[in-house]
Amino acid sequence: MLYYLFDWLDRTIDLPGAGVFQYISFRASMSAITSLLIMLVFGKPFIRFIRRKSIGETVRNLGLEGQKEKEGTPTMGGLLILSAIIAPTLLFAKLDNVYVITMLVTTLWLGFIGGLDDYIKVFRKNKKGLPGRFKVFGQVGLGLAVGLLLSFHPDIASTKTTIPFIKGNEFDYACLISWMGDWTQNWVWVVYVLVAIFVVTAVSNGTNLADGIDGLASSTAGIVGVALAILAWLSGNIIMSNYLNIVYLPNIGELTVFITAFVGATLGFLWFNTYPAEVFMGDTGSLALGGIIAVYALLIRKELLLPILCGIYLVESLSVIIQTAGCKVYRRRHHLPASQIVPVEKRPFLMTPIHHHYQKKGMAEPKIVQRFAIIGILLAIVSIVTLKLR
């Protein structure tokens, strides 16, 4: 909104300094600062309000050290994160930009689904929360909508993306069904929609799994956000995109204003979420953060970089899949009923997601988070470098 106000002031009365709002770099910087200030200024009052309302986390007994102390910690901090993302975006971004609109809808939609889950857990006292099928339905619906948008919107429709390590650095999903001949271009949208659904569901759930110890989800999401901001700027700069031989996306640079707010919000939340956490984000935050990362990557055509960039979330998800599969195989071999617990020493991991495995081995929470964050930084650097390594 401020962009339009200062643009009008610049054109009508030639207000000194008003023209600075034309620069994305300035608005992105202001977006990050505003987001961070929202978190730091309103963080403590928000935590006190949540505590007064007795909106605390119900922690399942997993046999982990220090777990009892977390019982009753204020939760639903995701509401503050989402507010710190949306408010600066509304203030500093061009609101007629289709990319910005898509990201705002994504944030609200997955925030709503995560909020329902937290509401059921906290107020209805149902530890299971929103049934998983409803979460998946919401994620699939979002992926479907984004896939259709990117396939048919007259201004941004394309089935091309950036592929790492390959000369040319561009990949067209039409190649996957080239055997259809003349029908290829008519049906490539189906392939793209399926990819979008998979990306949104996988990354959103992976981020949700990472939200298991203090500061892990917020720190890794902030790192991913910085990398996505750089990738968006490169894709929206015609000189840099030509130099790197990646897809040039007109007007995509406006998304930098959104993602800097995202980075400011996640790092600001980390101020209160580091060990020992004063507040948890809940599914309101974790589902939304994962969905934002996934949709943002799809919009800037960098979704094939996500296995590297979001390597932490990938490993978290794979650990759960491997653990589940390993336990099923053990039960089948030893003819055990599904209700019988597999001995710990016979499992692939002591506990999953994998950050709990390291907790079981005696590693302190802060050390796990710090090491995962360092790995996240390395993966972010590698993701950006892949644009040149081919």
Q: Are 316 and 206 in contact (CB under 8 A)?
A: yes
Asked whether the predicted pLDDT for residue 266 surpasses 80, the reply is yes
The answer to whether residue 219 scores a pLDDT higher than 90 is yes
Most confidently modeled range among 68-72, 181-185, 276-280, 318-322? 318-322
**82 CB-contact burial (10 Å; exposed 0-12 / middle 13-18 / buried 19+):** buried
* pLDDT confidence tier of residue 14, bands split at 50, 70 and 90: confident
Report residue 21's pLDDT band, with 50, 70 and 90 as the boundaries: confident
Q: How much is the pLDDT for 109?
A: 96
- The DSSP line for 52-104 is HTT-B--------TT-GGGTT-B--THHHHHHHHHHHHHHHS-TT-HHHHHHH
State both tokens at 202: 């996988």
**Is residue 113 scored above 90 in pLDDT?**
yes
How distant is the alpha carbon of residue 1 from its chain centre? Answer: 25
Q: Residue 126: its pLDDT value, please?
A: 76
Query: Band of the pLDDT at 64, cuts 50, 70, 90?
Result: low
Q: Report, as an integer, the average pLDDT of 361-369.
A: 92
Q: Which of these, 204, 235, 234, 196, lies nearest to 221 by C-alpha position?
A: 204
Q: How far apart are CA 155 and CA 153, in angstroms?
A: 6
Q: What's the CA gap between 154 and 204, in Å, rounded? A: 28
CA distance linking residue 88 with residue 367, whole number of Å: 33
pLDDT digits (tens, 9 = 90+) for 160-191: 898 888 776 788 898 988 888 878 888 999 99
Backbone φ/ψ region at 166: left (φ over 0), alpha (ψ -120 to 50), beta: beta
Averaged pLDDT score across all residues of the chain: 89
Condensed to tens digits (0 to 9), the pLDDT of residues 343-354 reads 888 899 999 899
pLDDT above 90: residue 307: yes
Contact 294, 204 (CB under 8 A): yes
* CB 261, CB 31: distance < 8 Å: yes
Residue 34 in contact with residue 91, Cβ under 8 Å? yes
Cα–Cα separations (whole angstroms), residue 160 to 150, 233, 265, 300: 10, 18, 31, 11
The pLDDT value recorded for residue 262 is 97
